[in-house]
Each structure stands twice: as structure tokens, then as C-alpha cells.
Amino acid sequence: MDLKKLLNKEQYEAATTIDGPLLILAGAGSGKTRVLTYRIAYMLDELDIYSSQILAITFTNKAAAEMKERVKALIGSEKVSNMWIATFHSCCVRILRREIDKIGYSRNFTIYDSDDQKVLIRQCIKEIGINEKDITDKEIISKISSAKDKLINPQQYKNENSGNYKLNKIADVYILYQKKLKENNALDFDDLIFKTVELFKREPEVLKFYQRKFKYIMIDEYQDTNKCQYEFARLLASESKNICVVGDDDQCIYGWRGADIRNILDFEREYKNAKVVKLEENYRSKGNILKAANEIIQNNPHEHMKMLRTRSDDGGKIKVLRADSDIAEAEFVASEISKTKDDEKRKYKDFAILYRTNAQSRLFEDVFIKRNIPYRIIGGLKFYDRKEIRDIMAYLKIINNPLDNISLKRIINVPKRSIGATTVAKVENFAAEIEECLYNAILDVNNIPGLSSRTATSISKFVSILNSFIRRKDEISISILIKEILEQTGYMDELKKSDDVQDRARIENLQELVNAAVDFENTSDDKTLSAFLEKTSLVADVDNYDEDADTVVLMTVHSAKGLEFPVVFMVGMENGIFPGGPAFTNSYEMEESRRLAYVGVTRAKEKLYMTSARIRRVFGRTEAFTESDFLNEIDDNLKETFNLRNDFSRDTKQGFTKSSSWNLNSVPKEVPPKNIQFNSSRSERGLENIKDNEPAILLEKDISKGTKVKHSKFGKGTIITINKIDGHVNLTIAFENMGIKNLRLDMAPLELL
């Protein structure tokens, strides 16, 4: 390989710097996957480093698989066979399968998904006696997950929050929850990394083994790591210091789920002799799209400023749409997709609609169905979250790990076999008395008090079926095991006898589960049941994204990270939605929202639309929103602004009707509609007190909601709310070109229009 010809100057430097700590700051679309691929190939082919000494961490299974295939294509599969390219979670599962017995678990542990986790948390809430109206299971799960991300164990959490009644109760749940997880020989998703770090710290010899094994460590998307992931990497790299991290502080968008941007910003402080390489040449997007992205992101503070550049032409301007309503916005997007597809001979898969929250997809779905536009949603109900799939997966989990009480309870009466909730409660009480798991309790069914002979017989038949599966699980393939479960339990027969249309779809889903097992058997080196359960537990929604399916893609900007599309519609670009309300009172929230906007813009390769609506339905109410401040951060020369004021107009009887076409370069005045409730989150914003040398012209008696005013700096606006706080009159004003501002009447230079 002649890397100097294959890579640009900065890419070459990053790919050939092997020893010591290396920070690669890779701007969007700058070819970081290419750099990592060639870096690995260079290490294996040119430097003769053993593949078993390399650990490459990615954030999705899809990315890991693609990287491995690329390296194989460059230097052959033989040299790559022993290299670990994996996500944090799958890497840690692999370590724990070998070593977890050293911290008191069995190696056949179950990985609990979010549904299993919720069931167990609710059990703990009930046992402790917490009223779910006071503390919800969702809040408790969030707090426990956050604690694990920060490497805080249950007792530490209890000690740190002893003075706070609510958090102290959550600590009690955390303690009991971890106890029950261990009894079930189960780990939740956060435990996979948390317990690996615990293992490394408790067992120095284990840590030394993996430090010697992995002399070269590479971590992609480093800006999205949390404290637990950071510590895992730090411990492994502390011996060799050969750690290469790749990331972009401008694309840190997962702070809400624990990602700590300081991990990438402080890399040079952690590793004093670290080398830094910036990748700023973009190979994805047209010039105007990159200029718009640069103009948005430069408004954030930076320690490592990057400016994306490209050798491509500028392309068209960014199309900025202002629609009368959310319905008109959706109608426009559908019309533009149909028109562009025909005019430019594009396919549906060339188009992506990106929004900030999943709830925004509904209107687009309605319009697409009406217009027969094929679409798919990334981030909806996952295949493995469907009831019928979860049922059969629960059978597989209990067959693999009989200590798993949650899975056993799920399927003990599925399909129905006359084992109701009262019976299950009696089994649970008996299991508690003999201090055994539920499976061991039902093995001794004749000694469980209070059971009728009919119920005892039903349980015995269930136990007999389970035992036959457990005995044969290592003798038959996963696909055959699933077929036998469906047949011998009567699960498939029950669905076939049903007249419900949904049950026919469930049969197809179960057939697809068998197909998934066959694919696993054909592609996986480890064909055990444990390995199959790991694969299905760790699959991410984006891992199932099929780039070849010819449909329009609808997804959140968060889900779109790492993907690219020829034509992108960023919708709902309004203050209060994108950015969300909290961003206006919290600078960190605003910075992350701006990074999210940057990520959205840089998903577009050729065309970018940014749309907003004057009014939209929110929780059943019609609310008015001003255009997103992020749109105002883009230079006017880069934008082609138009509106739909005359395109889809409201008819009081018929709803929205289409009339004339949209008008280019006609920017409407922001006049809030009458009788519209404004987004309440705006009242949370801090006041922007601009002192003027001259006294305020207006008095309180001069103004009311809807009054038109003019500010010496912000221009024309409309008063939305008037509030008195500490004797001062505070105004929330929607300005035509400057968005929403909060001002004090006695300090702001305002005059009536």
C-alpha cells in the first residue's frame, strides 16, 4: 500500500502514527473510518504487529463489522482473524464471559434489556414500599443508569444521598436491584462496562493480562464516551500508553445519556505527550452545506477549532422554508420529495427527514400514506421488542440461564397453561422460603403448598418441556431449538388458530427470528446459545438500517449520526423545539443543541432543506413558535428563503387545503396568530437586560398581550407574555428577525408601533 497516494496529508499522518497517545480530531465527513481502516492495515501489513494485540472500539455493531470487512479486503482475512473490533458493550461481554466468575457471577449470565430491567425495578419498588406516584420506575432507572455511568456503586450512592429523602429511597432500590440481578445471574446494559471496570480493579492479574494482550488500542467516537467507558479505556492503556482516540467535539450530542465531552477535550492533559491531528477536509457534502455547518458551530466555544473544507463545488443554496402550520410543512416535504424524485431521477432512499423528537414523525407518516410515498422509521419499535419475539427470547434466556427469574415469570403461562398470577405468587413465596430461584422451586413442585393437583400437573409439564430444551441446547442449532420451542410449547399452533390479522404478522415475525438464527449460524464463529443471546441483546436500531431499501427515511438527528443522504430535510426548526426550551436557560444545553444542528446539517451530501412552522399542535394545544435561532446563524448569502403562507391555507370547515405554489425569496413577517397559546418553556429563559441611556418610553398601562413594539437593537416584535417578578414587569417578546427575548420593561428601550 502506498498510503501517501491513498490518503491526504493529515490522514497519512494519523494512519502512520502508531506508538504513544494520539488524538485524531475528525470533522464530519473527513474520512475517519478510512483512516482507522488503513491504520490497522498498516500496523498488520507494514509493521507486522500481531492482530491479537489490537483492540478497536466502535459505537455500533454495524460500524465494527464494516471496519473489519474493509481491513480484510485490504490485507486478507488471515491477518485479521484474531483482532478484536467491537463495541464497548460487546467487548466487555467477551471479557466477562471469560472472567466474571472471579467476581461472583456464573459465565452463562443473562443480559437484561430495558423491559426486563423495568420488571425487576418494579418488583424492588413494591418490596420497598415506594408509591410510584411519588417516584416513577422511569426516574429510578434513569438515576441508577446515571450512577453506573459515573462508576458510583449502590452503597456509594446511598452514602452520597443520605440527606435527601427521595434519592435515599432510590438508593434503597439500587441496592436491592443489584442484589436481585446477582441472584438472577443477570446484568443490565450498564453493568456490562461497569462490572468489567470493577473486575479490572478487583483483580489486578486479570487487568495485567488484558493490558499485555491489547498493546494497541483505538477508540472511535471518543467524544461520546461516559466516565465508565473512559475508565475502561484508561485502565487498559495505562501500561503501553498506545492509545489512539478518534472523535469530534463538535459532534458530542449524547450528554443527556451520560457522554462527557471533557473526555476528548482533556485527552492532552491525561496524556502529556499526546500528538494531535486534525482532519478538516470533507469528502461528503457540497460547499454551501459545509459553510452553513461552519457558521452554526463557530458560535460554540472551542478548544480545538476546526473549519470544514471541500474540493467539491458549492452546490445549491440551503432552502429555508417557513410554513403556516405543521401540516403545511409536512405537505410541502412530501410534495418536494415527489417533485425532486421525478425531476432529478432520484430514488426514495435518497431522501431523509430528520427531526429532534420521535413524536414529530406522525404528520409525515400521515401525509406519506395518503400520497403513497414509501417510508420507514428508524427508532420505532425494534424487531426484538415485539411481544412474540420477546416471548421466545425469554424461553431461550431461561434455557441458557435457569437462574433468570424474570424470563421464567414471563413465559411460565405463555402460551396459557392454567398457571395464573396467584399460582406464580405461591411459587415465589416458596422460592423465597427455600432461598432458591424460581426454576429450582418448580423442580420441587409437589412440595409447594396451596397448589391444586391440576395446577401442579401443568407446572410439571412446563418443567418437563424446559428440561428437555436445557438438555439438548448444546446438541442442536439455535434455529432448530427455536422451531422446537414454537412447536412443543404450542405457541405457533395458538397463533395459527387465531383469526386476528395481527397474529398472522406475528407468525411472519417468528419465521424471521428463525431466519436470524440461521444467519447467525452461518456467519458467527461462536455458535453457542449464549453468543446468540448476546448478539440480539446488543443490537442497536441503526444496526438494522438497510441502505438499499428504496424508502424515504424518517429518524431523529441523534439516530442519523454516522449516516449520510443526498437530500436532507431538517424539520421543526423552531425555538422551543430545535433548540428545545431548556437550551435558553442553560448554556450547556444550548451548546449541545447547536452541535446537534451541526450533525444534522452535515448529514446532507447534495441538498439541504431546513423547515419550520408558525403554529403546530403540541399536547393537543395549538402553539406558536418563532424560527430557530440556528437558522439566523447561517449567512443570508447561503440561504434561499421562501414561505408557504399561500400554499396550504386553513379552511375552517375543510382543514388545510392547497392553493397557490410557494413563493421564493418572500420572507413573511412574524405575526403571531390570534388566540394561540405560546410555548410555556419560553418563560423559563433568563432576562436579557439591555440598559439604554434614555428612559423607557413605555409604561405598563400602554401594553398588553399582542401589542406591537419596536426595540432599538432587536427591531419589531410582538409581546407574548407579561409577568411581574419582584415588583418588576417582565416581557416575553417575539421579534421578527431576532427570535424570542425576555426583557424588563423599565430597562429595555421599547416604543409602540
Binding site feature residues: 26-33
Q: Read off the amino acid at residue 452.
A: S
Burial class of residue 31 in the structure, from the number of CB atoms within 10 Å of its CB (0-12 exposed, 13-18 middle, 19+ buried): buried
DSSP code for 300: S
Q: Which of 193, 181, 219, 276 is nearest to 36 (CA)?
A: 219
Cell numbers standing for residue 164: 435527601
Query: Is-contact 464 470, C-beta < 8 A?
Result: no
Which are the contacts of 611, defined by CB distance < 8 A and separation ≥ 6? Answer: 320, 321, 322, 323, 329, 332, 333, 569, 570, 571, 572, 573
Contact residues for 360 (Cβ-Cβ < 8 A; gap 6+): 571, 572, 577
Those residues with Cβ within 8 angstroms of residue 596's Cβ, 6 or more apart along the chain or in another chain: 253, 356, 557, 558, 578
Kindly list the catalytic residues.
Answer: 32-33, 220-221, 251, 603
If one counts every other C-beta atom within 10 angstroms of the C-beta of residue 349, the result is: 18
Partner residues linked to 607 by β-bridges: 567
- For helices 478-488 and 529-538, give the axis angle rounded to 10 degrees: 90
Question: Could you tell me the sign of the dihedral formed by the alpha carbons of 90, 91, 94, 98, in that order?
Answer: negative
Binding residues for ATP: 26-33
| Single-letter residue type at 708 | K
Torsion of CA 531, 532, 535, 541, to 10 degrees: -170
Decide: helix, strand or coil at residue 529.
helix
SS3 659: coil
Q: Which three cell numbers stand for residue 624?
A: 406558536
Cell numbers 479486503 correspond to: 73
Is the alpha carbon torsion for 107, 433, 124, 450 positive or negative?
positive
CB of 173 closer than 8 Å to CB of 143: no
C-alpha cell at 208: 495485567
Q: What are phi and psi of 201, to 5 degrees?
A: -80, -30
- Pairing between strand 648-651 and 110-112? unpaired
- The CA angle 571-575-581, to the nearest 5 degrees, is 115
Cell 463545488 locates to: 313
Distance CA 152, CA 147 (A): 5
Length of the chain: 753
- Helix 61-75 with 32-45: angle, nearest 10 deg: 50
Query: What CA–CA distance (Å, rounded) separates 387 from 381?
Result: 11
